[in-house]
Chain A
């Protein structure tokens, strides 16, 4: 079984500041890692994913994440946020042999002017 922990339920930042949303996971088997974003009144959208290869992955909207196997982390970063990045962000894992996603609790990112 897998589990995902997002350490911050809410992250307020000012526009153009950098941000990091933290995610740690545990699993006894190999997993793929994902970040999804949910804007108000919309479904979850895939931001980025780590399947294999380079541990630094780039996604949409200027976000990137780094897979750290030794620390079992997959933190999401953006060097300069916009008001439009205000949303809920979910970290998720999936067994490499499975189809079920296991989600973290979500982090509400609020970007203030």
Chain B
């Protein structure tokens, strides 16, 4: 089965630094998502992206966050100035159709902010 690929699997950064988390969605998918899971908490929706623009975002997704599909294959999440509370596992997901019930998730990037 095709896979969503996320790199790196683990990223450590200093508070205040910018980080970019990278994802390669499945090639014929059109809708892209970021979710995150803070240790011990629920998996939370951050943002959905379609046709080169954000289609929906949560309250978590403030001005410190941005997403981009720079080259037609990668889908990135940038955190401009990381805070301690940004430490979490970040999951990328994709599907062909936003109404399609099957989301394909990557294995996640564990972000640790020190």
Residues of chain A whose beta carbon lies under 8 Å from any beta carbon of chain B: 4, 32, 34, 36, 41-46, 49, 51, 90, 92, 94, 98-106
Residues of chain B whose beta carbon lies under 8 Å from any beta carbon of chain A: 3-4, 6, 31, 33, 35, 41-45, 48, 55-56, 58, 91, 93, 98-99, 101-108
- Smallest CB-CB separation from A49: which chain B residue? B101
SS class, residues of chain A in contact with chain B: strand
B45 touches A43 (CB 8 A): no
A99 touches B43 (CB 8 A): no
Task: Choose one: B31, B41, B104; the contact of A99 (CB below 8 Å).
Answer: B31
Number of A-B contacts (CB under 8 A): 57
Task: Choose one: A43, A103, A105, A106; the contact of B107 (CB below 8 Å).
Answer: A43
B42 touches A100 (CB 8 A): no
B31 touches A34 (CB 8 A): no
CA–CA, A90 and B41, complex, Å = 12
A45 touches B101 (CB 8 A): no
CA–CA, A45 and B3, complex, Å = 11
